Chains A and B, each alone.
Chain A
Amino acid sequence: MSNSTEGALPSRSWVTDKIFLGLPFADYLKSLATPGNFLAGLIIAIGVPVIVYRFAFGLGASTNLSQTNPWGIWIGFDMLAGVALAAGGYTIATAVYIFGLKEYHSIVRPAILTGFLGYLFAVLGLTADLGRPWNLPVPLFISWGGPSVMFEIAWCVVLYLTVLGLECLPPVFEWLGWKKALVLATKATIGLTVLGVILSTLHQSSLGGLFLMAPTKLHPLWYSPFIPAYFFISSIAAGLSMVIVESGLSHRAFRSRIDHHVDLDKLVIGLARGASIVLFCYFFVKLQGVADGGRWSLLATGYGYWFLVEVLGFILLPSLVFAWAARHANVSLIRWTAAWTVLGIIVNRLNVSVIALNWNAPERYIPSWMEVTVSITLVTLGITAFRWIVNRMPVLNEHELSGGRQI
């Protein structure tokens, strides 16, 4: 680096440099007083006691789960939607490293970071939902329920979280300045990407496969032997849309850290094209599911209308709008459509797990305020972790250690 700047920069401790953004501690604390941080702090201040309460007093005291409705939004939103939206990690990594679309390499790192944090907080949401979370090591090391789809998911998620964690190491090593470790970590990229795609295919589809066990409980318009395929295909669209949303927000929030000669708009248009095609195919696959079950008459019921809203409004419509907006280079419309698609994925996951599940049960489930609070808190913690990391490590920009060429 530079030896002639010794005079210009006062010597700083590692902590000041790496953790406090190079600012003296008092100044660092002052710099934290932003409206965003205040809101996040408020949410966390309310959420953490609620989480403690849940663990102290049990699920009955903090949730509206019941004997008829054993799964709620911690599974439907935090776990299912969270995992689907974290799919940007493997999607973009595949595009860059397997398909060789190098122009997207500036968004690989934030996509993988979003993926890692998405999975991490999905697992935390799951931990809040489990009745006996201290037994988490059991399906891994002690007792294996091979025929269970849940077993496969448990293994895949644990392995994939590890893979994502390893894929997140290069920016960490650049931040710490550990050159040898960086070289090693970078060499593993292709292998980790291939492993990541395999694991993602398996668990994204298996999360849908869970519901194969509930043919009498899940509404026939959503129940199909193809649920695993639906979940997998929609995870790709979810990942691409989430990357569009995240990159838009990051480029505004972290203006000073981004690489100024990267043309993000062009990349976003490319992602929109991809999302458009995937959603188009997803729409037809869902249609085939209805045909396969001979369910047409059900479309005229209350749940049928809701199904049409999901399929036409949240799948077909964004597909067409993405296509139009990409052709007209309307990046702002693309971003809105991406947010709309993200919402659609959340709607779909909640439909399958909470809304259309037990649709005909006498007792329906509405989440309690504590469940909603915990979900919001986990999302906030995830966003905060993302900001903390991006403000310190070369995720949105290139680092001199990478020789100007990010891997």
Chain B
Amino acid sequence: MKLNRRLFLKVAGAAGAVAAVPAATAKASTGEAEAAVSSARRGVLVDTTKCVGCRACEAACTEVNNQPEPAKLDDSAVFKTVRTTDTRHYTIVNAATMGASSSGSAVPARFIKRQCMHCVEPACASACLVRALNKTPTGPVVYHKDRCLGCRYCMVACPFNVPKYEYDSPTPFVQKCTFCADRQSRGEAPACTSVCPSGALTFGLRDELIETARERLYAKGSTYIRHIFGEREVGGTSWMYITDIPFEKLGLPGDLGTYAYSSLTQASLAAVPFVLTLWPPLLMGMYTFSKRREQVAAAEGAGKETSHE
């Protein structure tokens, strides 16, 4: 739609050297085109060692989305419980449990901002039967609410349990972080990354962010755990995390493979054309065979009879 095209043009202009990119969902057929799409992807690097838990990101998000202010914005007691996003709050910040960094010394409290990961090959988009959830080439997984049936398969498919449902509404929608796709189409950064005072959130091209992250991880004397969460998990996510405490303490799932979830169902869907092609001859063959046997049996039976009425 119009938004996508404008977004695409802006990105092409901003990136400067983008080769002809195929349409939003067509697979890139050459390495060059793939690199071009990849280089156009936006992402965010979340450096939890820099997050101070101010929750300015939460406030900015609710402001641009016309949602109620987050609860207890200036009360650190909110960190006592592990929260999840909900239908009116697309992002939340949780505190990690206190833990030792890889160097063994005690570390200050760590915080982690959670929101939609905007996966490179999102499970939700591949699950959605009407493309209500749709991956845009530059990163955001956007929601076209007019198409949505409310089947909630996206909620089952998402390994991060991101999509939230408006169960209390008689005309419910799925709610999740939009990566400020509309702001990005205007050339702006997402609201949360714009207000982060401590530099924990860095918005930019995904490939560049990975480089940045690697520099930090492998710098001399770095205390980071040498893993970028989201670089390859579930085929890669736009929001990536680096930290100096074990990732489980941040609440990030540790049992995700590196395969994209869309690949899980492709094998069984690939069987569909095979069934459509092979079942008819198989079944008609059996039908013909059994009809033939009937005819032969009937002919033999008739041959045995000597008189008719």
Pair from one complex: yes
Report whether A212 and B167 are in contact in the complex, using a CB–CB cutoff of 8 Å.
Answer: no
Give the A-B pair count, Cβ closer than 8 A: 172
How far is A151 from B266 in the complex, measured between Cα atoms in Å? 13
CB distance from B144 to the nearest CB of A (A): 8
Residues of A within 8 A of B156 (CB): 70-71, 210-211, 213-214, 217, 357
Contact of B265 among A55, A66, A149 (CB under 8 A): A149
Among B41-49, B52-60, B288-296, the stretch that binds chain A is: B288-296
- Which A residues from 49 to 102 make CB contacts under 8 A with B? 55-61, 63, 65-68, 70-71, 94, 97-100, 102
Bitwise, A332-352 to B at CB < 8 A (1) or not (0) is 000000000000000000000
Among B2-10, B168-176, B209-217, B239-247, the stretch that binds chain A is: B168-176
Residues of A within 8 A of B265 (CB): 147-149, 209, 212-213
Contact of A201 with B by CB under 8 A: yes
Report whether A145 and B129 are in contact in the complex, using a CB–CB cutoff of 8 Å.
Answer: yes
Contact of A150 with B by CB under 8 A: yes
Bitwise, A129-151 to B at CB < 8 A (1) or not (0) is 11111011011001111011111
- Which A residues from 142 to 194 make CB contacts under 8 A with B? 142-145, 147-152, 154, 190, 193-194
Residues of A within 8 A of B150 (CB): 130-133, 135
CB distance from B240 to the nearest CB of A (A): 19
What count of chain B residues pass the 8 Å CB interface test? 59
Contact of A235 with B by CB under 8 A: no
Specify the main secondary structure of chain A where it touches its partner.
helix
CB distance from A293 to the nearest CB of B (A): 14
Contact of A114 with B by CB under 8 A: no
CB distance from B67 to the nearest CB of A (A): 16
How far is A171 from B261 in the complex, measured between Cα atoms in Å? 46
CB distance from A361 to the nearest CB of B (A): 9
Report whether A198 and B275 are in contact in the complex, using a CB–CB cutoff of 8 Å.
Answer: yes
- Which B residues from 253 to 298 make CB contacts under 8 A with A? 253, 255-257, 261-262, 264-269, 271-272, 275-276, 279-280, 283-284, 286-287, 290-291, 293-294
CB distance from B166 to the nearest CB of A (A): 8
Contact of A216 among B165, B256, B286, B294 (CB under 8 A): B256
Report whether B151 and A147 are in contact in the complex, using a CB–CB cutoff of 8 Å.
Answer: no
Among B120-128, B185-193, B220-228, the stretch that binds chain A is: B120-128
Residues of A within 8 A of B287 (CB): 97-98, 100, 190, 194
CB distance from B143 to the nearest CB of A (A): 13
Chain B residues proximal to chain A, CB less than 8 Å: 84, 86, 123, 126-132, 144, 147-153, 155-157, 159, 161, 164-173, 253, 255-257, 261-262, 264-269, 271-272, 275-276, 279-280, 283-284, 286-287, 290-291, 293-294
| Complex A-B: 25 CB contacts under 8 Å | A56-B170, A57-B170, A58-B170, A59-B165, A60-B168, A67-B84, A67-B155, A99-B290, A100-B287, A100-B291, A131-B149, A136-B149, A145-B126, A148-B127, A149-B127, A190-B287, A194-B287, A198-B279, A198-B283, A202-B272, A202-B275, A209-B265, A211-B156, A213-B153, A213-B156
Chain A residues proximal to chain B, CB less than 8 Å: 55-61, 63, 65-68, 70-71, 94, 97-100, 102, 129-133, 135-136, 138-139, 142-145, 147-152, 154, 190, 193-194, 197-198, 201-202, 205-206, 209-217, 225, 228, 357
